[in-house]
Chain A
Amino acid sequence: SQQGEEDPQALSIQEGENATMNCSYKTSINNLQWYRQNSGRGLVHLILIRSNEREKHSGRLRVTLDTSKKSSSLLITASRAADTASYFCATYNYGQNFVFGPGTRLSVLP
C-alpha cells in the first residue's frame, strides 16, 4: 500500500516564487527523504530528515517533519526554471523498505 502521498499532484509557479509540497504517510518511520526526478529517469536525493528532527535546511530547500501529524513539507525558495521536475517523498522504517509517494510535478515558468 502507498505510504507517502504528495500534495499537490501538480504545481505551476513563476520563477522567483516559493514552492511548497506536502507529504503525508500512515505508519511509523525512521526517516523521510525527498528526491527530485527530471524527465522520468534517475532520481536525485535532496534531503533526509530523521524522525527525531523537526526541520532541516539545504541551500534553498527547507524540509519540516511533524511526526504527530505524519506529514512533511518541502519548501523551495526563490524557484528557478531548473527546479522544474517531479518531487517524491520516500519513507523508511527499520526492517522495512522505502515507500515512495506518487510525486508532485513542479513547473517553474520563466
Chain B
Amino acid sequence: GAGVSQTPSNKVTEKGKYVELRCDPISGHTALYWYRQSLGQGPEFLIYFQGTGAADDSGLPNDRFFAVRPEGSVSTLKIQRTERGDSAVYLCASSLVQGNEQFFGPGTRLTVL
C-alpha cells in the first residue's frame, strides 16, 4: 500500500515569507508526528496529533509554527515569517497508535534565503 507522502519535496523561500508543508499519512493511522532535522542531527520532535487534535505541541519552537489535521488524515505544517534558522528537513511520520513503529515520509527540505 501507499506509504507516507510529503509535498513539496523541496521548498525554497525568502526570509519573512509564509510556507505550508503537507503530509499524507498511511490510511488508518491515527497518530501523526512532525519532526525537524538539521544536518548531522537526529529528528527533533515538533508536534503530535491523535486523530484531529494536537495531543502534544510542546516541540513547536515558537508561535510562528502551527499545524493542523482537520479531518484526521492529511496534516499541514504552517510556518509564518520564515527565518534562515528554519532551514531544515521537515519529516512527517504516522503510526497505527501512539508509541508503535513510525512510518516516515521522505521529508520536505526547506531552505530560507
- Given A40-B39, A43-B43, residue A30 in contact with residue B99 (CB < 8 A): yes
Chain B: residues with Cβ within 8 Å of the partner, total of 26
Instruction: Provide the residues of chain B in CB contact with A45, threshold 8 Å.
Output: 101-103
Contact of B40 with A by CB under 8 A:
yes
User: Judging by beta carbons under 8 Å apart, are B102 and A40 in contact?
Assistant: no
B99 touches A94 (CB 8 A): yes
User: Given A30-B99, A40-B89, A42-B91, do A101 and B42 touch, yes or no (CB 8 Å)?
Assistant: yes
Q: Which of B12-20, B77-85, B104-112 contacts A (4 or more CB under 8 A)?
A: B104-112
User: Is A99 an interface position by the 8 A CB rule?
Assistant: yes
Chain A interface residue count, CB cutoff 8 Å, equals: 22
The reply to whether A102 and B45 contact each other, CB–CB distance below 8 Å, is no
Q: Which residues, 1 to 22 on A, are CB-close (under 8 Å) to B?
A: 4
**Residues in chain B within 8 A of chain A (CB atoms):** 4, 33, 35, 37, 39-45, 48, 56, 59, 89, 91, 93, 99-107
Please provide the 3 A-B residue pairs with the shortest distance between their CB atoms, ordered closest to farther. A100-B42, A42-B104, A45-B101
